[in-house]
Amino acid sequence: MSIKIYGDPGSGSLRRVTVAAAIMGVEIERIDVDLFKGESHTPEFLRLNPHGLTPVLQDGDTVIWEASAINLYLAASASLDLNLLGRKEAERFEVLQWMFWSGEQWRVFSTFLFNEWAGKTLMGKPPTDAVVELAMSNIGNGAKVLDAHLATRNYIVGDALTLADIDIAAPFSQYQRTGAPFNEFPNLMAWQQRLLDTVPAWAATRAEVETRMGGVLNAMS
């Protein structure tokens, strides 16, 4: 039975899963959920994830939501040990540290910015300045720490790509739309470019996000 992954190809959260699956060689069956049509809020989908959020993994009776948890599940089922969890025991905890940080202190603020952008662009709703300010200030604080961290290293943990890079890089999927101030942080920008240049699946999934978002925006104009 194949592992099903539900999500919208325009989603940076789905991208974290599709890139990890591609790198680990885990076969997945993609099931499109059109977020712009509210398909993650149907009664059927809410039975999978009552939060109405994607991606969701379904593997037989197992249902997992939260992209980071899905990636840990995929890593456990990957036949090859590709070290996406870190190479040494200590690194494994560092990878988890950055993944948890990314969820609580980093990506969430990019989601705020994306929602403000989407509200304005897709529904003509003016952005809420206080939300944008809060998000920009927290992203700036996080980016400053990441930029210093990346001054002397090529990856977030150790000397190779891990799930920490994938989790932290996700906001780059939409930053040119949301206005997140990553351009001000040269080491962060260089790291993101390094991922695009050296991880073919990262570049391929960026192209997928761009095609999908371009289609949504074209359909509206």
Ligand X SMILES: N[C@@H](CCC(=O)N[C@@H](CS)C(=O)NCC(=O)O)C(=O)O
| Interacting residues toward ligand X by CB under 6 A | 11-13, 35, 40, 52-55, 66-68, 111
Residue 147 or residue 206: which is nearer to ligand X going by CB? 206
Residue 52 or residue 179: which is nearer to ligand X going by CB? 52
Q: Which residues pair with 58 in a beta bridge?
A: 4, 63
Residue 91 or residue 167: which is nearer to ligand X going by CB? 167
Burial code (b: 16+ CB inside 10 Å, e: under 16) for 16-29 equals bbbbbbbbbebebe
- Tokens, residue 40: 């993650």
- The CA-based dihedral angle spanning residues 211, 216, 218, 221, taken in that order and rounded to the nearest 10 degrees: -160
- Tokens, residue 89: 């025991």
Residue 46 or residue 151: which is nearer to ligand X going by CB? 46
User: In whole angstroms, how close is the CB of 190 to ligand X at the nearest point?
Assistant: 25
Count of C-beta atoms within a 10 Å radius of residue 39: 16
User: In whole angstroms, how close is the CB of 152 to ligand X at the nearest point?
Assistant: 28
* CA 129-130-136 angle, 5° bins: 85
User: In whole angstroms, how close is the CB of 219 to ligand X at the nearest point?
Assistant: 18
User: In whole angstroms, how close is the CB of 66 to ligand X at the nearest point?
Assistant: 5
CA distance 23 to 27: 10
CA distance 46 to 196: 34
Residue 40 or residue 192: which is nearer to ligand X going by CB? 40
User: In whole angstroms, how close is the CB of 27 to ligand X at the nearest point?
Assistant: 21
